[in-house]
Structure 1
């Protein structure tokens, strides 16, 4: 792997890729744009393809929706590496003494950080997560804690943005600083990513919590940054983050995330899921994926030293962009 100080534009041929095949990708994008805002392809530490659409550019930020969880996964690993959190086996209830009386049942007391990272903590709903109900709560943390253990079984996969939000609260309570501040200091700044400024939530309307008004990194009523969604990044920021994982957690001769955490968080703990990363294997090639609703993706393919970022408009549809990787980008590797 490379000692990367920053991602710079490189000629495709210099990193073993066929530029003609990448031109086919550009042509395909022009015919299939839909809601795609940007595509960035990185190989061996170089940006070899970077396109923006709808009048957008490299400095524009995008609501990455559920991709926020992948940042959260990295931050928990860094906090463990730095000793703020003991391990993934630490009990959730350790961080919420005010909820001890609400967690008298054995199920809640058995839940660990690992259950949140693997989305195997049971919540009190089946099917679609009631996020709009969460939005209307005065105390999101206590509301989420009350839903834990009421239905389902510990160890069964149950996708939950609320679980990721608890991780943000745990991080803040462990470190004494907001998740945003911790991310700026230990992840965004070292990677040369755009630092996230503090911002005041004007309200908790749908537009402010889930819609077009999202900027920076939104917060809940208690001031905790959302752990499951609500972060905005540039496409290059996403590329930097993805390449950090492909490069085994190292950047500019510094180990930002330990190799142990990279391995642990990108291993399959449940079917096709690691620590808030989706896992995929095709023809023996392993890809770990950050996915946001509407088709925003970070595809990390370490075997090929490859990262593909697709930033899209927020849309209720779940659109997998894997065909772009499969049809145009992987075949471009010589």
Structure 2
């Protein structure tokens, strides 16, 4: 990449995507570009918001491969035998793990009841209380925050470990990723302040110590790039199979749709022709994988309401700059 192109890219980032903290471009596993903005460095961790969901998808696949979970066709309530279903509730009893992975499980709300949820002492049970209702199983309903924590409950129940410990042992440590511990909020003010902090670390957990599944994980831009490269490598890292290949293939296949957007197992399918898929989070946090071009792009960002689409930045500016590079 010549200096003129580099300066052009950075001018675009600084002017139109000015909440960006870091960008990394890998091709054939080699770093072609790595740069940081807004005072961030390679060591900085950021809250990646809904990118957390795609990490949870990876952990579910590992748990299935290790025999902790039998099948994604298992009913969700089978994992919570002590949970009491409210009288008249029928839909919740038929929701499967696959329904939740593809965001086709119904919930009893139009907009997420954040205050009720975050002030509860058990976020998994609160999510279960909201699962089901009068909606139909099979209709896409994206749940940004409330709902995915059920995955965390399932992982804790089946593995006997915390989500962070299971992730550290089976995913993070093999990739050289360090997530330093749990973050627990004692009130709404602490949570809102955490969103605004520049240097956040760890993984958010509820008062029971159960890590969040829809948001709340912090990673460095290179951590994000490593996750993308792991998937591009079909689950292999340093010669070791970390994630089963069959799980990756299923995860990045269309299982549901939201308008024109395709969805896999907590991964977004961007382009079927070039086999492009992504983990996407608020503010523009992105793990982007182009299978055909063997490219991975990670973009770490600060939270900004209605942030500009990073997929456009990648497809229109970043990819064309690097696709002809010979590694």
TM-score in terms of structure 1 length: 0.89
How has the CA–CA distance of structure 1 residues 204 and 114 changed in structure 2, closer, same or farther, with 3 Å as cutoff? farther
Q: What are the equivalent positions in structure 2 for 1:282-297 lying under 5 Å apart? A: 284-297=273-286
Q: 1:92 to 1:19 in 2, by over 3 A?
A: farther
Change in Cα spacing, 1:55 to 1:101, as seen in structure 2 (3 Å) is closer
Is residue 139 of structure 2 the alignment partner of residue 156 of structure 1?
Answer: yes
Match of 1:319 among 299, 308, 313: 308
Single out whichever of 198-207 and 271-280 deviates more from structure 2: 198-207
Partner of 2:36: 52
Taking the aligned partners of 2:44 and 2:179, their CA distance within structure 1 comes to: 13
1:240 and 2:223 aligned: no
Partner Cα separation in structure 1 for residue 182 and residue 166 of structure 2: 15
> What SS is found at the alignment partner of 2:148?
helix
In 2 relative to 1, CA 207–295 (structure 1 residues): closer, same or farther, beyond 3 Å?
Answer: farther
CA contact (8 A) 1:120 1:154 kept: yes
Going from structure 1 to structure 2, the CA distance change for 1:103 and 1:311 (only over 3 Å counts) comes to farther
Q: Conserved in 1, the CA contact under 8 Å of 2:24 and 2:225?
A: yes
* TM superposition shift of 1:168: 0.9
Aligned to 1:182, which of 138, 151, 166? 166
* Residue in structure 2 matched with residue 9 of structure 1 by the alignment: none
Give me the whole-angstrom Cα distance separating, in 2, the residues matched to 1:200 and 1:276: 23
Q: Does 1:41 align with 2:15?
A: no
Please list the CA deviations of residues 199-242 of structure 1 after superposition, one character each: whole Å capped at 9, or x if unmatched.
35251425427623653001112211001000100000000011
Match of 1:3 in 2: none
SS in 1 for 2:126: helix
Aligned residue in 1 for 2:256: 270
TM-score by length of 2: 0.90
- The Cα of 1:103 is off from its aligned counterpart by 7.4
Q: Give the CA deviation at 1:22.
A: 4.5
Which residue does the alignment assign to 1:306?
295
Q: For 1:157-198, what per-residue CA distance to the aligned partner results, in whole angstroms no more than 9, with x for missing partners?
A: 1111322210011001100000000010000100111x2222
Distance in 1 of aligned mates of 2:185 and 2:132: 33
Q: Is the 8 A contact 2:180 2:201 kept in 1?
A: no
Mapping for residues 2-41 of structure 1, pairs under 5 Å: 21-41=5-25
1:33–1:316 CA distance, 2 compared to 1 (3 A): closer
- Distance in structure 2 (CA, Å) of the matches to 1:225 and 1:118: 20
Distance in 2 separating the partners of 1:200 and 1:61:
14
Residue in structure 1 matching 2:317, options 304, 307, 328: 328
Note the C-alpha offset of 1:19.
7.1
Report if the CA contact (8 A) 1:122-1:152 is conserved: yes
Partners of 1:199 and 1:216 within 8 A in 2: yes
Aligned to 1:137: 120
Q: Which string of whole-angstrom CA distances, capped at 9 and with x for unpartnered residues, describes residues 71-106 of structure 1?
A: 000000000000010011111111111214437633
Note the aligned Cα RMSD (angstroms).
1.9
Q: Do the aligned residues in 1 keep the contact of 2:235 with 2:241 (CA within 8 Å)?
A: yes
1:263 is paired with a residue whose SS is helix
Q: Deviation of residue 53 (structure 1)? A: 0.9
Which of residues 94, 114, 128 is equivalent to 2:78?
Answer: 94
- Segments of structure 2 that go 5 or more residues without pairing to the other structure are none
1:318 positional shift: 4.3
Q: Does 1:117 align with 2:106?
A: no
On the 8 A contact 1:91/1:111 being kept in 2, the answer is: yes
